[in-house]
Amino acid sequence: MDILIVTFLSLIAITIGLVAHRVRQHFRERLKQLEREIGTERNLHRRAKEALQKAKMELEHKVLERTASLELSYFQLNEAQQDLKAHNEHLDRLAHLDALTGIANRRYFDHVLDTEVRRARREHTELSLLVCDIDHFKMLNDHDGHPYGDYVLKKIADALNRQFSRAGDLVARIGGEEFAVILPGVARADAETWAEQLRNNIWKQAIDHNASPLGDRVSISIGGASVAAGQQVTAKALLTASDQAMYRAKNAGRNRVVFANADTFGRIEPVKNTANAIQAVN
């Protein structure tokens, strides 16, 4: 009986030992499996983190590239706009300038004269206009050639630019050898004085004109007209008066200044004679 009990207890102990062993083995295997799964999760997490970091860096790089590209495009666009503006301004200047002398051309002169006449009427201010013509210019061209004639035209334009340089003054070539000067805000007395100074300066430059009956140098005839404050005059009437005064200066012997009557523009009024230079024809 005791042997049976001992044997039974031994079997129970053995069974318990086997079960315990199997349980331990199962837990060890499960633990390893969990470790493997955790390791896999960690690897996946690490890879996901690395992929995310890589994607973030690539995105930042693309953003930087795009920003740089946009900045470059903006700079290029701005530069192109500046170039276009400068080009248009250059074309605009060319459209307003006489190709030979570089001063205003007839088209721009007409525009400015109309603008200034309207301004003078609106603001009740003075306005003067001078029309200048090179004496015996055809004879100069025939005698010395057109290249020299072009040289003389440039010299006259330079002299006009030097003398009439106020803001608002406009010097223009309005015909072959004919020039004009618009003088906003200038009354007749000052315009006459400045016209005589111009005539005298041209004469003193002693620009060769070997075919001139007046001497061996270039001279100019100047016609002028002035609008008094509040006087209602059109641009056409002012130009016509100045032009007629210039032709009267030529008919009176050239190399002189003649001004139109300020009231009517219909006749030429005698003006003060300065060293026989400013003349008038009745």
Residue written as tokens 């390791």?
A: 39
- Backbone torsion region of residue 129, taken as left when φ is above 0, otherwise alpha when ψ lies between -120 and 50, otherwise beta: beta
- Quick check: is 58 catalytic? no
Please state, in angstroms and rounded to a whole number, the distance separating the CA atoms of residues 122 and 109: 20
- pLDDT score for 277: 42
Q: What is the pLDDT of residues 66-121, one digit of tens each?
A: 877 777 777 776 777 787 777 776 676 778 999 999 999 999 999 999 999 999 99
Q: How many helices (H) and strands (E) does the chain have?
A: 6, 5
Q: What local confidence, expressed as pLDDT, does residue 262 receive?
A: 65
CA atoms within 13 A on the CB side of 248: 25
- What pTM did the predictor assign? 0.67
Segment holding 128, helix H or strand E? strand 127-134
Residue 30 is predicted with a pLDDT of 72
Look at residue 269 and tell me whether its pLDDT is greater than 70.
no
Please report, as a single letter, which amino acid is at residue 87. H
Q: What is the pLDDT of residue 272?
A: 41
CB atoms under 10 Å from CB of 277, counted, come to 16
* pLDDT above 80: residue 232: yes
Catalytic residue among 177, 192, 196, 269: 177
Nearest 5°: the CA angle 277, 279, 280 is: 170
Which pLDDT score is estimated for 1?
A: 65
Average pLDDT taken over every residue of the chain: 85
Mean pLDDT of 155-172: 97
Task: Evaluate if residue 268 carries a pLDDT over 50.
Answer: no
The angle that helices 2-96 and 106-123 make with each other, rounded to 10 degrees, is: 90
Question: Per-residue pLDDT for 202 more than 60?
Answer: yes
Which H or E run contains 206? none
| Sheet containing 257-259: order of strands | 170-173, 178-184, 127-134, 220-227, 257-259
Q: What is the pLDDT of residue 270?
A: 38
Cα distances from 243 to residues 43, 48, 255, in angstroms, run: 99, 91, 15
Cβ-in-10-Å burial (0-12, 13-18, 19+) of 184 comes to buried
